[in-house]
Amino acid sequence: MALSVWLTFFVASWAISISPGAGAVAAMSAGLNHGFVRGYMMTIGLVLGILVQVAVVGLGLGALIAASSLAYALVKWLGVAYLVFLGIKQWRAPAVPMVSEVASGELVSRRHLILRGLAINTANPKTTVFLLAVVPQFLDLGHALAPQYAIIGATIAFTDLVVMAGYTALAAKVLRLLTSARQIHAMNRAFGSLFVAAGLLLATFKRA
């Protein structure tokens, strides 16, 4: 991949990462509920999900999902159901302040956040279709594709790690402003509604 082509994709990847979506909502929700350090584990999962999507597209499975009505519908509605489930869970979350990290529960909690982020970005056919539309424009078919997909995956992962860190930190700052159970409950409902909204938007997404 030529340097000029990569620089163009690098700029485009920032726009991709900054654009609001389920990933941004998940990162902010994690920052709000767990603080920056633990909440950032959600971003690790989100990035792993993106890398899975890049691998799926690189292996040609993305085209199969986009072309098959059954496969596309299955992945799509799994993604919708999961986002709505997260929204309801967040809406009903108890209005308690962020708890301090304790060694006994820290590992499980972080693993859970990583797996949740992975599920959010993996079960999103919108990302698959988007990568199918954008990535081929930056590929040099005269050279091996695997290294080019590796560069593309690493570039998107880097920008997402940076952008989602900003989203997580922004939400974590809000923690210091929440001093009552009523405020925390209202914030939980706000993020729960955003998750449900993201799921409903995904439900309206159609294949190109």
Q: Tell me: the pLDDT tens digits for 17-45? A: 887 678 888 898 888 888 898 899 999 99
**Residue carrying the six token digits 């799926």:** 56
Of the two residues 125 and 40, the one the predictor is more confident about is 40
How many CA atoms lie within 13 Å of 171's alpha carbon, on the beta-carbon side?
29
User: In the predicted model, what is the mean pLDDT of the chain?
Assistant: 80
Q: Is residue 16 part of a domain?
A: no
Domain range spanning residue 153?
22-204
Mean pLDDT of 54-66: 77
Among the listed residues 163, 207, 140, the one whose alpha carbon sits nearest the alpha carbon of residue 20 = 163
Neighbours of 78 (CB within 10 A): 15
Mean pLDDT of 115-127: 85
Q: Tell me: the pLDDT tens digits for 135-170? A: 777 778 788 888 889 999 999 999 999 999 999 998
Write down the pLDDT at residue 100.
Answer: 42
Tokens of 64: 């199969």
| Cα 28 from Cα 175, distance rounded (Å) | 11
Q: Is residue 9 part of a domain?
A: no
Q: Which residues contact 179 (CB under 8 A, 6 or more apart)?
A: none
Write down the pLDDT at residue 104.
Answer: 38
Q: Is residue 2 part of a domain?
A: no
Write down the pLDDT at residue 44.
Answer: 96
Q: Interhelix angle for 103-122 vs 69-91, to 10°? A: 140
Q: Is residue 6 part of a domain?
A: no
The least confident of 111-125, 140-154, 172-186, 191-205 is 172-186
H-assigned helices in the chain: 3-18, 22-58, 61-67, 69-91, 103-122, 125-134, 145-175, 181-204
Between the alpha carbon of residue 73 and those of residues 117, 180, 207, the distances in Å are 21, 42, 10
Q: Is residue 68 part of a domain?
A: yes
Give how many domains the chain has, as a whole number. 1
Write down the pLDDT at residue 116.
Answer: 92
Of the two residues 105 and 23, the one the predictor is more confident about is 23
Neighbours of 13 (CB within 10 A): 20
Write down the pLDDT at residue 50.
Answer: 92
Write down the pLDDT at residue 101.
Answer: 44
Contact 202, 22 (CB under 8 A): yes
Q: Tell me: the pLDDT tens digits for 61-72? A: 666 766 778 877
Q: Is residue 1 part of a domain?
A: no
Of the two residues 136 and 54, the one the predictor is more confident about is 54
Contact 50, 121 (CB under 8 A): yes
- Classify 173 in phi/psi space as left (phi over 0), alpha (psi -120 to 50) or beta: alpha
**Residue carrying the six token digits 């596309």:** 72
Q: Is residue 11 part of a domain?
A: no
Q: Is residue 87 part of a domain?
A: yes
